[in-house]
C-alpha cells in the first residue's frame, strides 16, 4: 500500500472540487477502499473523508410511498428502518444478507453500490491475466475457472459479475442514484448505473470523474417483494446467485406487474424483462408460470463451468414468485 495524504471534506463543494483529481478517492465507510488499496486495485495519493457531510445519512419517506436514502446512510440503519421493512422488505432482506453485522454497521448504502467484482483473477495479489486490472492481458476466467462468473452480458474481454446485494433489490425496485457534479447532477436508474464489459474496462459504473452519489430514491412502495440469496455457506459469503422480486396483484390476484432482478449473473443486476412481460395477467399458481419465467433466460450464455446458474436462477425466480405472492399487500 503506497503512502497517501488524508483530508476531511467540509462540504459538498469542497468534495466535488477534490474529486476532479483522478488520484483522489472518497472515504465513506472504507470497508472496500482499504481492500482495494491493499490488493493494488486502487492507489490514490489523496483520501478525502466525506463521512461528515451534513444530511447525507438521512432515511426519508416520500409522499408516493417511496423512500429516499442519503448515500452515507449505514447499511444496518437502512435495513432496520421500519419504513424500509414495511415498504420495501426485499431491500431490507438483501442488506441483512450482505457482509457481517460489523461491516454493515460501518459500510454505507452508496459505497456498497460501488463495490468491484469479486472475480478471483481480478482480486489476486499476483499478476494474472485480467483486462480490468491489467488492460490488454486477457481474461483468465474466460476459459479458466469460471463457475462463479457471468451468464448474461459478458464479452470475451471480461466475464466477471457485480457482487452488491442491495443493488439487486434496488434494480428490481426501479430505484435511481442521484448525483452531484460540477456540470450539474444526474438521476441514473440503477439498471443503467453499471457498465457492461466492452473494449474499455476502466470504469465499473457510468459515474464521471468528479461525480458524487448524494442520494438513492425508490419510487413507490413494494410491500409484496422478497430477496433470496444462495451462497456456498451462510454468514457473510457473496452470492452464487440471487433474485429480487416485486409483485403487484390485481383484484383477481392476477399478476398486474412483476419486477425481477438477478444478482451475480452479470456485471450489473440483471432484469428479466421478457419474463416480467410474460408473467403479466397470470395467476401466481398458474401452470403457465414456469414457461413465462423460462423466457427470461433465453439470452443466457453459460460459460464452461457455470451452466448450473441457469437452473439455479430459474428455480430462485419461481420460489421468490411464490413467496412474494403470499405476502400481505
Same topology between domain 5-49 and domain 225-325: no
C-alpha 324/C-alpha 326 separation (Å) is 5
Q: Scanning the structure block, which residue is given the C-alpha cell 451462510?
A: 234
- pLDDT tier for residue 200 given thresholds of 50, 70 and 90: confident
Q: Which residues contact 63 (CB under 8 A, 6 or more apart)?
A: none
> Can you name the residues that pair with 249 across neighbouring β-strands?
255
Homologous superfamily, domain 225-325: CO dehydrogenase flavoprotein, C-terminal domain (3.30.390.50)
Q: What is the 3-state secondary structure (H, E, C) of 65-130?
A: CCEEEECCCEHHHHHHCHHHHHHCHHHHHHHHCCCCHHHHCCCEHHHHHCCCCCCHHHHCCCCCCE
Burial of 175 from C-beta contacts in 10 A (0-12 / 13-18 / 19+): buried
Residue 39 pLDDT class (50, 70, 90 cuts): confident
| List of residues 6+ apart from 299 with CB closer than 8 A | 152
- Range with the poorest average pLDDT among 7-21, 100-114, 164-178, 282-296: 7-21
pLDDT of residue 26: 92
Mean pLDDT for 56-68 is: 97
Residue 243 to residue 315: CA distance in whole angstroms: 10
pLDDT at 319 over 90: yes
* Domain spanning 5-49, CATH architecture: 2-Layer Sandwich (3.30)
DSSP state of 194: B
Query: Residues 64-104: pLDDT tens digits?
Result: 999 999 999 999 999 999 999 999 999 999 999 999 999 99
pLDDT at 294 over 80: yes
Cell of 34: 482499504
309 or 3: whose pLDDT is higher?
309
What does pTM read for this prediction? 0.96
41 pLDDT higher than 80: yes
| Domain layout of the chain by residue ranges | 5-49, 225-325
Average pLDDT over residues 186-202: 91
Spatial contact of 255 and 281, defined as CB atoms under 8 Å apart = yes
Q: Given a cut of 90, is residue 207 above it in pLDDT?
A: yes
Element (H, E) at 209: none
C-alpha cell at 322: 411464490
The greatest distance separating any two alpha carbons of the chain, rounded to the nearest whole angstrom, comes to 63
pLDDT band at 201 (very low <50, low <70, confident <90, very high): confident
Distance of alpha carbon 106 from alpha carbon 120, whole angstroms: 25
Amino acid at each position: 500500500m503506497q503512502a497517501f495524504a488524508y483530508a476531511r471534506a467540509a462540504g459538498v463543494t469542497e468534495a466535488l472540487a477534490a474529486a476532479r483529481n483522478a488520484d483522489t478517492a472518497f472515504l465513506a465507510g472504507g470497508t472496500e477502499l482499504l481492500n482495494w488499496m491493499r490488493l493494488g486495485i486502487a492507489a490514490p495519493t489523496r483520501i478525502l473523508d466525506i463521512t461528515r457531510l451534513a444530511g447525507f445519512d438521512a432515511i426519508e419517506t416520500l409522499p408516493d410511498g417511496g423512500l429516499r436514502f442519503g448515500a452515507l446512510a449505514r447499511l444496518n440503519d437502512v435495513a432496520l428502518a421500519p419504513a424500509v421493512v414495511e415498504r420495501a422488505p426485499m431491500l431490507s432482506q438483501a442488506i441483512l444478507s450482505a457482509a457481517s453485522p460489523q461491516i454493515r454497521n460501518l459500510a454505507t448504502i452508496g459505497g456498497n453500490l460501488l463495490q468491484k467484482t469479486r472475480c478471483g483473477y481480478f482480486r489476486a495479489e499476483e499478476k494474472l491475466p485480467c483486462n480490468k486490472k491489467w488492460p490488454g492481458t486477457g481474461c483468465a476466467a474466460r476459459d479458466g475457472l469460471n463457475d462463479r462468473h457471468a451468464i448474461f452480458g459478458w464479452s470475451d474481454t471480461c466475464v466477471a459479475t457485480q457482487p452488491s446485494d442491495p443493488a439487486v433489490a434496488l434494480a428490481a425496485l426501479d430505484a435511481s442514484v442521484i448525483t452531484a457534479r460540477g456540470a450539474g447532477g444526474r438521476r441514473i436508474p440503477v439498471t443503467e448505473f453499471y457498465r457492461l464489459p466492452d473494449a474499455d474496462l476502466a470504469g465499473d459504473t457510468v459515474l464521471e470523474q468528479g461525480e458524487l452519489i448524494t442520494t438513492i430514491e425508490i419510487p413507490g412502495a413494494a410491500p409484496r417483494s422478497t430477496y433470496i440469496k444462495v451462497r456456498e455457506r451462510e454468514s457473510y459469503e457473496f452470492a452464487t446467485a440471487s433474485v429480487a422480486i416485486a409483485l403487484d396483484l390485481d383484484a383477481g390476484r392476477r399478476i398486474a406487474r412483476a419486477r425481477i432482478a438477478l444478482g451475480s449473473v452479470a456485471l450489473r443486476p440483471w432484469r428479466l424483462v421478457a419474463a416480467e412481460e410474460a408473467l403479466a395477467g397470470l395467476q401466481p399458481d398458474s401452470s403457465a408460470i414456469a414457461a413465462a419465467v423460462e423466457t427470461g433466460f433465453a439470452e443466457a450464455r453459460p460459460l464452461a463451468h457455470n451452466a448450473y446458474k441457469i437452473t439455479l436462477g430459474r428455480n430462485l425466480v419461481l420460489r421468490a414468485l411464490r413467496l412474494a405472492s403470499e405476502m400481505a399487500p
